Amino acid sequence: MKRYEKETNRYAVWRGLVTEGFKKWQKGEKIYQRDKERISLYVSEDTKAKWLDYTRNDGSLTISRLIREAVDSFIESKAQFDGNDLSKINPETISNISHTLKEPLTSIKGYSQLLLENYREKLNEQVLDTVKNIFEQSVLLENKIISILDNINVEPDYDVLLIEDDLATIRLIKSYFESKGFKSKGVVSGSKGLEELGKTTPKLILLDIILPDLSGYDICKTIKSDKVYKNIPVYFLTAIAGSEVEKNLPETKADGYILKPFNFSDFEVIFKILNSYNNEST
């Protein structure tokens, strides 16, 4: 027994009983070592009580059934998609998929965590290893779900992304674009603009050069060097002298600029681009 414990770093006797692992080792069977780190799940007392009440009230509930229902729900939801173009998915549909998958997965994680924390000493070695594996696989599946859903690039519900730190200018341009039948979204910093690009792909970007966090020149260079976004037209919207802006056009690869204070007629070039998108779709 001492040799077994030294070789495997496991108990040969636990609570007065010979362990299953030691019995297998005596028979010459292979003892698998799991070099894994335990991941804990912390929940409030109210949540813990809710989970416990749910298991007591639902006598038909099993962990394996929850896993099967989660996978079936995912397959059923995915079957509604048109091919592999996930960008066409309605945002509400994505939210429903997330809810459908995470609800049973939360229960799986919670139940296995409760077993590990409250009944560890009552479980034999084989059952304990199985519960640990269920919990670890639940964490992996959760991370995979989050990774997939967070990387879906949803088609925007607007035409123009306006990166501009002046709220009055944002409101004015949004109102003017709406009068012309186009939707726009304004963000007040460069970082928020890049974050928005990570979610959607607008038809055109209006970009201020002087922003509170990042330079509009640098943002434009970032966009134009990205293989996904490089074809989005980018127009500077700025109070900087036109001669200064023109000197930076070759390096930034911006498609043009509009100077402040602007006339609404200055936006004719913008509407030509937006109308060309509409003509292509008809």
pLDDT-above-90 percentage for the chain:
38
Residue 137 pLDDT exceeds 60: yes
Distance, in Å, from the CA atom of 204 to the CA atom of 274, rounded to the nearest integer, reads 8
Identify any residues that bridge with 235 across adjacent strands, giving them in sequence order. 206, 256
Tokens 């030294």 correspond to 6
For the domain covering 160-281, report its CATH number.
3.40.50.2300
Q: How confident is the model at residue 77 (pLDDT cuts 50, 70, 90)?
A: low
Residue 185 pLDDT exceeds 90: yes
Identify any residues that bridge with 186 across adjacent strands, giving them in sequence order. 162
Q: How confident is the model at residue 10 (pLDDT cuts 50, 70, 90)?
A: confident
Instruction: Determine how β-strand 160-163 pairs with β-strand 204-207.
Output: parallel
Query: What integer pLDDT is reported at residue 13 of this predicted model?
Result: 83
Which of 65-69, 120-124, 224-228 is predicted least confidently? 65-69
Residue-by-residue DSSP string for 166-205 = -HHHHHHHHHHHHHTT--EEEESSHHHHHHHHTT---SEE
pTM: 0.49
Higher pLDDT, 208 or 61: 208
Higher pLDDT, 255 or 53: 255
Instruction: Find the DSSP H helices in the chain.
Output: 2-8, 20-26, 45-57, 63-78, 91-118, 125-150, 167-179, 190-197, 216-224, 242-252, 268-281
Higher pLDDT, 208 or 51: 208
Give the chain's radius of gyration (CA, Å): 29
Per domain, the residue ranges of the chain are 34-150, 160-281
